[in-house]
Structure formats: structure tokens, C-alpha cells
Amino acid sequence: MKYLLLLFLALGLSADNDYSLRVTHGKVTKSNLGEVLLLDIRSHKHDFKVTSLDAGYLLKKEAFDLPLDFYLKGGLAHFNEASMQSDVYEATIYIKVYYNIDFWQNRVRVGFGEGASYTSEVLYYEKLKTQENNDNTSNFLNYLDLSLDFDIGKLFKYDALKDTYLGVAIKHRSGIFGLINNVRHGGSNYYVLSLEKNF
């Protein structure tokens, strides 16, 4: 962890802030996306975990003269499913927009990302859901990335950590009610802690 913190501090030496790097870690929930958004997060008995690394490029800052920043992002994730099957790896690509809320010299961001997810194998939790609903499975699904974070450098008045964001996020895979590969009720939700640096 200390090496990761040193990396994030070193990235802060650049002043352009055109790029971002995010690390997340969390676990699966059996709650659906609506329940997660309402903070009704229920653990699953298998307690599968995910760790991911995402990189981003700033496409547009303050788009439409609003506090909206658009990024093109890509990521790699490792799903620890050793208790039930071999581990699964995921690649994602998505567009993410952040709504920046500035107050009292602090910043909070609300993020919404949408794109595509491809896994090396169907996640075990998704297999369970499709068995329950007599549904299809797919390695390729729609991807949503929802987040809420804050600038810890501004909060603690520490310049070296400015543009470093700590927060929570949801990794959501779904077939959009059958639009993708006829996956109607499959998919998964993982809630994660995140640390992101703009540089």
C-alpha cells in the first residue's frame, strides 16, 4: 500500500491533469442496482471479491460550461472466485462523466460511466442468477460504473494529495433486460472502495 501511495504522490508532480489512475477493491452484493443505490446492500454467502485498475484520459473539461468532466476510461479487474471456480479477469472500456460539486474549498464528484465489459469466464455469481431465472449468460455485457468521491488533498489542505480522490463505487454488469446477448436477469453488482489520482 505504501508503494501505491508513493506512486500517487509522484503522479501529482505533473500539472496537466489530463490523465487519471484508479485502484478499487470490494465485493459482490446480492442486491440489485436499484437497491444498491438506495444503500440496501446485502452480502452474498460466497463473499466474492474484486480488485481493479482503471486508467483514463480527459476528453472535455467543464463541458457545456457546466462542472462536467468527460473521460475515456479502460480497466482491468481480477475477480477472486477461488472458492467456487478459477479466478476471472475482466477488461472494460467506457465513457465516464463527473459532476463536480465545489464548496468551502473542497470538491465532491458524482460519477457515471457507461460502456462494455468482457470477462475471461462468466462470473460464478452471474451463473447462479441465470440458473435461478432460467436465463442466458455471457462474457460480454454492458458495464456501468457509478461513483461518489472527494478530493482528500483539498479536504486536508495537503497540496501533494490534491486531485487525489477517495470514495465508493459500483461495478455493474448486465444485459440491459435482454438487449445484449439475450441476458435478461443476469449480471452482477460489486461495491468497492476507490482511490483515484488525476495527473
**Residue spans per domain, the chain:** 2-198
Single pTM value for the model:
0.86
Mean pLDDT of 118-124: 93
Q: List C-alpha distances in Å: 19 to 3, 44, 180.
A: 20, 35, 30
The CATH label, of 2.60.40.1760, 1.10.10.10, 3.40.50.970, 2.40.160.20, for the domain at 2-198 is 2.40.160.20
| Sign of the C-alpha dihedral computed for residues 172, 176, 177 and 178 taken in this order | negative
Whether residue 4 is predicted with pLDDT greater than 80 in this model: the reply is no
Tell me if residue 4 falls in helix, strand or coil.
helix
Distance CA 148, CA 103 (A): 15
* 29: exposed, middle or buried (Cβ count in 10 Å: 0-12, 13-18, 19+): buried
pLDDT tens digits, 85-105? 889 999 999 999 999 999 988
